[in-house]
Amino acid sequence: MKEFELDSITDEAIKACEDRHDEFIAQNSAAMDCIRAEKFCDAVELLKPAAQNGNPLAAFDLGLAHLRGVLGEIDLEKAIFYLEAAALLGAVSAVNVLSQIYLNEQNSVFDQDKGLAYLRYAAKRKDLDAMLDLGKRFYEGDLLEQNIADAMKWWGTAAHMGDGRACANMGVLYLYGQGVEADPSSAVGFLERGALEGNAIAQVELGQMYEHGLAVDKDYEQAISLYRLASMQGHPKGHYYLCAMYEMGKGCEVDYETAQKFYQFAAESGLAQAMNSLGSLIGRGLGCEQDRVKSAKLYIQAAEAGDITGAFNAGSRLVNGDGVPTDIPRAIRYFEYAASHGDEDSKVALRQLEAFFARANGNLDS
The span from the CA of 20 to the CA of 15, in Å, is 8
List Cβ neighbours of 251 (8 Å cut-off, separation of 6 or more): 219, 220, 221, 223, 224, 245
Q: What is the pLDDT of residues 242-267, one digit of tens each?
A: 999 999 999 999 999 999 999 999 99
Per-residue model confidence (pLDDT) at position 359: 79
Q: What is the mean predicted confidence (pLDDT) over 155-162?
A: 98
Q: What is the pLDDT of residues 37-93, one digit of tens each?
A: 999 999 999 999 999 999 999 999 999 999 999 988 999 999 999 999 999 999 999
| Model confidence, pTM | 0.89
For 50, 67, 100, 114, 304, the CA distances from 77, given in Å and listed in that order, are: 20, 9, 14, 16, 44
DSSP string, 43-61: HHHHHHHHHHTT-HHHHHH
- Encoded amino acid at 190, one letter: F
pLDDT band at 362 (very low <50, low <70, confident <90, very high): low
List Cβ neighbours of 139 (8 Å cut-off, separation of 6 or more): 146, 148, 151, 179
